[in-house]
Amino acid sequence: MSLLEVDHVVVQFGGVTAVNEATFGAEAGTITGLIGPNGAGKTTCFNVISGLQRPTRGQVRLDGRAVTRMPVHRRSKRGVGRTFQRLEAFGSLTVRENVRVARDIAGGARGLVRRSGADVDALLERVGIAAYADERADSIPTGTARLLELARCLAGSPRLLLLDEPSSGLDETETDAFGELLRDLASDGVAVLMVEHDMDLVMGVCDTIHVLDFGTVIASGEPADIRTDPLVQKAYLGYSDEGGEGDSWDATLADLPPVAHLDRGHEDDLTTVLPIADGRSAR
C-alpha cells in the first residue's frame, strides 16, 4: 500500500475540467515526479492532496485511509507538507522566524510527545540558506524563498513532501545540491512528490514519473521509460515549453533537415557567445 494514493480524482471549475480521473501515488522513501504541460492540472492535484481544494469526485488516501474531506491543517498533522509554486513565505518575518513559526505550529499541543522538529538553524543549514537567516522573507531571491518553504515543511517532519517547482530560481550548483538533499530525504523514508520543469533534475533524481496532460495521467514509469514513451514525446516534450531545453530542442530539431551535427568540442567557445547552456528553466 502506497503512502499516498490519488484515486480517480476529478476537479471541475465551472464547466472546465482541470483534473480528469487522475490516479497516481507516492511511496515512502522514494522520489516521484509529476510532470506535464502548463495547465495540465499539476498544481490543482497538489491542492487536492494538501486539502486546499476539494475534488469534485474521487478520493485521496494516506496510508489507505481516505482524507478527501479532511481539512488542511489536519492533513498536515498526518504528515503532509507542501511548498507552493507561487511563493507563500511569511514576508514580514525573517527567514529564521519563518521556520520557527513552522516549528511552533508543528509542536502544538502534542509537542511534548512528538519529536519537536529539528533545530531551526540546523534546518536552515541543511537546505543551504543559513546565510539568509536574518533577512526578511520578502527580500530574498525566489530560489532562496523556495528553499525556505522546504525548510519550513521539514520543521514539521513530514512523511509526504509535496514540492511545487522547487528548483526554479536555483542555479546549477544549487540545483545539484538540491537533488542531493532530495535523495537524502528519501533515504530518511520521506515520500517526495514533486512538480518540476527542470528535466535534468526530474530525470536525475526521480524513481517514478507520472505525466499529466489535460488533467489525466497519460504515462507512468521510470525516467528511462518516460523519456522514450512516444505518447509523452508527442503530447508533451516536442510541443510544449515545459521540457528542459535539451529534450525539447532535441525533439524539435529531430523533425528538421539535418544540420551541422553536434560537436561537443565547441561547447566552451559557443557558450561564451550564446550563453544558453546554463539557461535552465526558471519557471
Contact positions with other proteins (CB under 8 A) in 146-175: 149, 152-153, 155-156, 168-171
Candidate list 21, 104, 176, 207; residue touching other proteins; CB under 8 A: 104
Residue (of 232, 224, 268) closest to 251 by Cα position: 232
Name the strand (E) or helix (H) holding 245.
helix 245-254
- Three cell numbers written together for 274: 550564446
Q: What phi and psi, each to the nearest 5 degrees, are found at residue 25?
A: -155, 180
d(CA 12, CA 256): 39
| Three-class secondary structure of residue 166 per DSSP | coil
Residue 30 contacts other proteins per CB under 8 A: no
Neighbour-count burial of 3, counting CB atoms closer than 10 A to its CB (0-12 exposed, 13-18 middle, 19+ buried): buried
Of 58 and 143, which CB lies nearer to other proteins in the complex structure? 143
Q: Does 128 bind other proteins (CB under 8 A)?
A: no
Strand (E) or helix (H) holding 13: strand 4-13
Applying CB under 8 A, the span of 91-99, 184-192, 201-209, 220-228 interacting with other proteins comes to 91-99
Options 33-41, 119-127, 186-194, 217-225: segment touching other proteins (CB under 8 A): 33-41
When the beta carbons of 30 and 175 are compared against other proteins, the nearer one is 175
Beta bridge partners of 151: none
Shortest separation between residue 27's beta carbon and other proteins, angstroms: 21
**According to the binding rule CB under 8 A, does residue 97 interact with other proteins?**
yes
Determine the Cα–Cα distance for residues 162 and 194; give it in Å rounded to an integer: 6
* Piece of 20-28, 58-66, 218-226, 236-244 that binds other proteins (CB under 8 A): 236-244
Contact 55, 68 (CB under 8 A): yes
Based on CB atoms, which residue is closest to other proteins, 204 or 238?
A: 238
Task: Verify binding: residue 259, other proteins, rule CB under 8 A.
Answer: yes
Applying CB under 8 A, the site for other proteins has a residue count of 99
